[in-house]
Homo-oligomer: A and B are copies of this chain.
Amino acid sequence: METNGHTFLRKALKIVEEEKAQTPLVRFKHPKELEALLDLDVSEGATDAELELCVRQVLQHSVNTSRPTFRNQLYGGTDPYGLSGAWIAEAFNTSQYTFEVAPAFTLIEMKMLHHILDLFGIPDGDGIFSPGGSMSLLYAVVAARFKAFPNVKSQGMRSLPELVLFTSEDSHYSIKKAAHWLGFGTESVKVINTNNEGQMSPSELEDAIERELELGRRPLMVNATAGTTVLGAIDELEAIAKVCQKFNVWMHVDACWGGSLMLSPHQKLKLKGIERADSISWNPHKMMGAPLQCSVFMVRERGLLHECNCAAAQYLFQQDKFYDVRYDTGDKSVQCGRKIDAFKLWMMWKARGDAGLSKLTDHTMNIARFCRNTVAQTAGFRLVTAEMQCPNVCFWYIPTFMREREEDDGWWDLMHKITPKIKELLTLSSQLMVAYTPLRNYKNFFRLAFTFHPVIDEDHVLNMLRAIQECGEKVTLEIL
């Protein structure tokens, strides 16, 4: 029986090269239009030539995230070394659970974890790569709960006191999903106010913990954030560590976004205190440009992750193997099969070294700073925050016709509609994809966030801002 398809592999790469070079940022079609245009049915099968045509069509109507103008999310183009690593890992398709099927990849994951734990200041810790920041947060809550109540593993939540999780109002929504999934319920998540910059208030945190204690509940974990999703705020980690220590509460730091600042000796000062955390999550697939997904969960106490999560499956983690089975690290995971995400990160790091990554970090912050300064100095733009910690630049663009009016509620309601309208025009003209969002009392504003890849220069930034200006000036009351 013939295995066809092997000749398609080279064709696939040609397609990728050509379509990545030719596809603009975005050729927006509404869902129904796009459905009508693409031939997605799979029932009948296709020749290689037909398949090539379909695939090209799909890519031509995909978003080209490798363009500098893709600033829609906290990821962008990928590090080419990381992409090389991802391709190689896919080709050597295996799972990260046992040394026998992933000998070199197991050592690479261990090496990367050690290097990263050193960098974050918890050299004696442990860790695991997981499929994304939300998963890493699940690991954190599960670890915190198990540490406090080891019986939860066998007996569940019913026998425990009422547990409470603390997070800031600007933190990522995954804490709510975690609270639901893990059996706490979303009401167990206590939301602490932030200051204008987006940082959790340590004194309000302390008050909230005391209040929960008085109510007879058990504060389990504080979820601090180093790099909030929208503003890029970094919580005051030293102050939060003190509060956590005082009340013996697990301190987790969600550094999925801001963790990449640790790569620069200069920038890492902003995260001072992170080395006191009980656990940390960091997504190299965000700012650093590893291909999706690459998330690291770190935990201070070595051994805890295994003890917490192991199920000792006989068919996989046999103890009578002929090699040292301590190298079968997969029982630390909630997954069984697990992608070898560490390899792509290893390739990026190996190619660039600590110094190369530090330079990319500083460059990214410099570009964000340039963007922020330009925004501050350009008529019509208005910044949302007074400071910048991560490379997030948040602002409104106020079209000329809005500028001299009184900024009452009606004015802000209009601005709330103007921002998405500008985004629509930017998208339809394929000039820029940029995030917008409301936050607390703030009406819809833009978030331009910068990543290591593609490497962005000042001209790119000026073009982005010019595009926003141009589309902003096209907005009229009539089209809103």
Contacts and interface: CB of A to CB of B under 8 A. Distances in A.
A335 B152 CA distance: 24
Among A43, A93, A447, which residue has the most Cβ atoms of chain B within 10 A?
A93
A83 interface: yes
Interface stretch (A129-137, A205-213, A470-478): A129-137
Contacts of A363: 1
Contact of A40 (B42, B81, B111, B327): B111
Interface in A301-343: 309, 311, 313-315, 318, 320-324, 327, 334-339, 343
A221 interface: no
A111 to B, nearest CB: 4
B42 A111 contact: yes
Number of copies of this protein chain within its complex: 2
Given A42-B346, A100-B63, A337-B75, A185 B87 contact: no
A48 interface: yes
Interface in A6-52: 6, 8-9, 11-13, 15-16, 20, 28-32, 34-35, 38, 40-46, 48, 51
Interface string A167-180: 00000111011011
A155 to B, nearest CB: 4
A328 to B, nearest CB: 10
Interface string A335-371: 1111100010011011111111001000100000000
A102 B59 CA distance: 10
Nearest to A452: B3
Interface stretch (A191-199, A237-245, A432-440): A432-440
Contacts of A453: 3
Interface stretch (A156-164, A264-272, A373-381, A397-405): A156-164
A63 B336 contact: no
Contacts of A315: 229-230, 435, 437, 439, 447
A80 interface: yes
A103 B31 contact: yes
A154 interface: yes
11 contacts: A4-B80, A9-B80, A11-B84, A40-B108, A45-B354, A65-B93, A73-B337, A131-B335, A157-B185, A182-B183, A318-B420
Closest 6 CB pairs of A and B: A183-B183, A45-B353, A156-B185, A5-B80, A12-B84, A157-B183
Given A78-B93, A93-B291, A157-B185, 5 more contacts: A54-B350, A64-B92, A66-B92, A90-B291, A142-B181
